[in-house]
Amino acid sequence: MKEVTVFLMTFALVFLLVSCETADENLDQEPVIHRIVKRDCYSEAQNRRRDEDNRRRNYQQQQRDRDRNENRRRQDWERNFRDWQSRCRF
C-alpha cells in the first residue's frame, strides 16, 4: 500500500511539473478562444466600418441628388418666369 501511495504521489508530482512547464511555454502563445474572439471582434468592427462607409456614401449621394434636383427646379422656375415675362410684355 505504501508503494502505491509513493508511486501515485510521484506520478502526481511529475504530472504537476510537466503541466506547469507546458503552461509556461504557452504563455507566449495566444489561447485559441482569444484568437476566435479577437477575429469575431475584428470582423464586427469591419462590418460596422463598412456599414458606416455605406451610410456616409449613400447620404452624400442623396445630398448630391437633392442639390441637383433643387438646381433643376430653380432653373426651370427661372426659365418659366422669363417665358411668362416675355409673353406678358407688349
Q: Which range of residues forms the domain containing residue 44?
A: 29-67
- For residue 8, being part of any structural domain is answered with no
How far apart CA 81 and CA 42 sit, in angstroms, is 58
Domain count, the chain: 1
pLDDT digits (tens, 9 = 90+) for 73-82: 999 999 999 9
pLDDT digits (tens, 9 = 90+) for 30-67: 565 566 666 677 788 888 899 999 999 999 999 999 99
- For residue 75, being part of any structural domain is answered with no
DSSP 24-88: HHHTTSPPHHHHHHHHHHHHHHHHHHHHHHHHHHHHHHHHHHHHHHHHHHHHHHHHHHHHHHHHH
- For residue 81, being part of any structural domain is answered with no
How far apart CA 57 and CA 53 sit, in angstroms, is 6
